[in-house]
């Protein structure tokens, strides 16, 4: 069987020269790659006591839902502002160029629930940092954060240093 890294397509000089884009769609398009990705993320949760999986739109849904399903846990989506129909809590945060706002339902995480956050990629860590604040603002406890891929050169893990963070693949650059 191939290693996880072999399923990820690397595209040099995209979106700009000097950047190597790590394309998760090549993982999704291969049945064995997708299966391995879910298994590897799930393996990082073995023995962990938690109640809820939280995943940001959209690739956090792709990887978080099957893990939640397999482990019989609830799944909570975090979406871009204006996409959820019920009462929400929201947070705005800075991006490299501009800002973004994400939200989740106000009743999605209850006080005392233990939460795992799952996403495809950690770069600067800004989105996940914002999500931790939403979860904690609702009284939840973030017990682990898991990623399929990590771009270590962007130092996102440092931004999340007060949490247990794991990635399946760690690339040294940007």
Which residues are annotated as catalytic? 59, 96
Cα–Cα distance for residue pair 3/42, rounded to 1 Å? 16
Residue keyed to tokens 């800075």 = 94
Residue keyed to tokens 């247990």 = 164
Which tokens in the block code for residue 91?
């947070």
For residue 95, the 8-state DSSP code is: E
Q: Is the dihedral of CA 103, 24, 10, 152 positive or negative?
A: positive
Count of other CB atoms within 10 angstroms of residue 158: 11
- For Cα atoms 170, 43, 75, give the angle at the middle one, nearest 5 degrees: 95
Rg (CA), the chain: 16
């Amino acid at each position: 069987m191939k290693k996880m890294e072999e399923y990820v397509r690397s595209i040099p000089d995209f979106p700009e020269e000097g950047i190597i884009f790590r394309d998760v769609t090549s993982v999704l398009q291969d049945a064995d790659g997708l299966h391995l990705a879910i298994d590897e993320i799930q393996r990082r949760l073995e023995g962990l006591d938690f109640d809820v999986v939280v995943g940001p739109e959209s690739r956090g849904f792709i990887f978080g839902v099957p893990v939640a399903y397999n482990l019989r846990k609830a799944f909570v989506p975090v979406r871009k502002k204006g996409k959820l129909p019920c009462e929400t809590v929201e947070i705005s945060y800075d991006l490299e160029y501009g800002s973004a706002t994400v939200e989740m339902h106000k009743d999605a995480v209850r006080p005392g629930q233990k939460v795992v956050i799952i996403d495809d990629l950690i770069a600067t860590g800004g989105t996940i940092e914002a999500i931790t604040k939403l979860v904690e603002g609702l009284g939840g406890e973030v017990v682990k954060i898991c990623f399929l891929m990590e771009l270590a050169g962007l130092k996102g893990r440092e931004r999340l240093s007060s949490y247990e963070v794991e990635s399946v693949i760690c690339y040294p650059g940007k």
